[in-house]
């Protein structure tokens, strides 16, 4: 006999759009700007460094000189991978491998040899945070070196994270100007309120799981083309278009076929992404210097058409693609670079979640069958 079933009658917000799931002091989108701990992204991009932003995100204040130098030194020292991590990286496949999958696997394995892996105490989490933030860049660069049959390099302790990442990746010492530009990119990507990957990290943390599990969850979320993977798709789109002359036709065809134009539009920013404005200037400068200005001109044309025809503006992925391309960074490394930067923000969210935790447990509105009856005496298969 069927029993009466009362349906759960909660509000539905597809994609949780407009739902406030927690209180945070880390970052916030305020109209046309982004704030990290109250500082605008424009100010931080102009005057700060990635190491300083990491300290800010984790500590809710800027460091004094001694704290800054200590953090910078510790992060760079953690870019030296230990023998066990390198041994694993050497046995994992690198040919025809999605770099984000490789990164996810190696990051997950780091907990196996971390002496603090069983502790969620604040001091232990800080030590793990330093290791993860330093190692992330070294893993991405090391993966690229290994797949090209080259040796993994050692960072220069006199330089910062941005300079060392480019060195570890390419084996060429970057100019101070290029290192500064890449440092700015790391700042721009370091955090972004409760985005998909930060939310994934907080959900995992809410079960009181460990920092490595939370960051691995975040990497999995970032991998998707609707989140971190969009920057790769932007560059692939520009290469496919090929020239400024073909750009307008390509976009018109996209409209006709209702195809998505990657790097355009944002769920929250309606009057423009402030990070895109900063990256646009960098893109113009770098494309001009490297004889790739046609990519910038194509991007501007797409930008103009999308604003005029669809009322949509570029997001952080749109101009970062040409910036990375002109730096000589392989296209499939763009999303891992996102992780190299965003790990700082993920960790800030994890640490904040620990301090005021309640496990996430949303509801789903059931849309399946009701009042089904199971005849228990009816066999599901014939007896043998």
pLDDT of residue 16: 80
Token digits of residue 101 = 């999958």
**Residues in Cβ contact with 347 at an 8 Å cutoff, skipping those fewer than 6 apart:** 57, 58, 129, 132, 133, 211, 215
For the annotated catalytic residues, the residue numbers are 266, 317
Distance CA 192, CA 221 (A): 14
Q: Please state which of the four CATH numbers 3.40.50.10860, 1.10.230.10, 1.10.10.10, 3.30.565.10 is assigned to the domain occupying 230-326.
A: 1.10.230.10
pLDDT of residue 1: 46
pLDDT of residue 199: 96
Distance CA 255, CA 188 (A): 30
Low-confidence ranges of the chain (pLDDT < 70): 1-13, 376-384
pTM score: 0.92
For residues 209 and 185, is the Cβ–Cβ distance under 8 A?
Answer: no
Strand-strand pairing, 39-40 and 33-36: antiparallel
Give 160: exposed, middle or buried? Use CB within 10 Å, 0-12, 13-18, 19+.
Answer: buried
For residues 267 and 195, is the Cβ–Cβ distance under 8 A?
Answer: no
pLDDT tens profile 10-47: 556 677 877 888 999 999 999 889 999 999 999 999 99
- Assign 368 to helix, strand or coil: coil
Distance CA 144, CA 135 (A): 14
pLDDT tens profile 249-303: 999 999 999 998 999 988 788 788 999 999 999 999 999 999 999 999 999 999 9
For residues 203 and 217, is the Cβ–Cβ distance under 8 A?
Answer: yes
For residues 215 and 347, is the Cβ–Cβ distance under 8 A?
Answer: yes
Domains 23-228+330-355 and 230-326 share a fold: no
Q: Which CATH architecture has domain 23-228+330-355?
A: Orthogonal Bundle (1.10)
Token digits of residue 245 = 């002359």
Distance CA 193, CA 34 (A): 9
Could you state, in order of their start, the residue ranges of all structural domains in the chain?
A: 23-228+330-355, 230-326
Name the DSSP class of 34. E
| Dihedrals phi, psi of 290, to nearest 5 degrees | -105, 15
């Amino acid at each position: 006999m069927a029993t009466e079933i009362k349906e759960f009658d909660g509000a539905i917000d597809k994609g949780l759009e407009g739902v406030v799931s927690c209180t945070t002091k880390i970052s916030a989108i305020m109209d046309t700007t982004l704030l990290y701990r109250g500082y605008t992204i424009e100010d931080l991009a102009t005057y700060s460094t990635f190491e300083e932003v990491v300290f800010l995100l984790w500590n809710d204040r800027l460091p004094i000189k001694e704290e800054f130098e200590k953090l910078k030194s510790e992060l760079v020292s953690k870019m030296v991978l230990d023998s066990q991590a390198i041994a694993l990286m050497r046995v994992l496949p690198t040919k025809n491998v999605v770099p984000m999958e490789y990164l996810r696997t190696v990051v997950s394995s780091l907990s196996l040899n971390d002496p603090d892996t069983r502790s969620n105490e604040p001091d232990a989490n800080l030590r793990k945070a330093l290791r993860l933030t330093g190692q992330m860049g070294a893993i991405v660069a090391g993966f690229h070196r290994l797949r090209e049959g080259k040796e993994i390099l050692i960072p220069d302790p006199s330089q910062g994270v941005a300079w060392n990442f480019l060195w570890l990746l390419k084996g060429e010492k970057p100019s101070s100007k290029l290192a500064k530009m890449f440092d700015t990119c790391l700042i721009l990507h370091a955090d972004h309120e409760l985005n998909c990957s930060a939310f994934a990290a907080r959900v995992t943390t809410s079960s009181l799981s460990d920092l490595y599990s939370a960051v691995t969850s975040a990497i999995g979320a970032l991998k998707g083309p609707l989140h971190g993977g969009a920057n790769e798709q932007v560059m692939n789109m520009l290469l496919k278009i090929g020239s400024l002359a073909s750009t307008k036709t390509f976009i018109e065809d996209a409209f006709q076929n209702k195809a998505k134009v990657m790097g355009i539009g944002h769920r929250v920013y309606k009057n423009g992404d402030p990070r895109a404005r900063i990256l646009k200037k960098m893109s113009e400068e770098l494309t001009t210097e490297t004889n790739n200005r046609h990519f910038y001109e194509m991007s501007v044309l797409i930008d103009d058409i999308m604003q005029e025809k669809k009322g949509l503006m570029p997001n952080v992925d749109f101009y970062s693609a040409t910036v990375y391309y002109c730096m000589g960074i392989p296209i499939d490394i763009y999303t891992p670079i996102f992780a190299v930067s965003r790990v700082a923000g993920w960790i800030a969210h994890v640490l904040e979640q620990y301090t005021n935790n309640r496990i996430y447990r949303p509801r789903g509105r059931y849309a399946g069958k009701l009042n089904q009856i199971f005849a228990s005496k009816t066999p599901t298969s014939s007896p043998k």
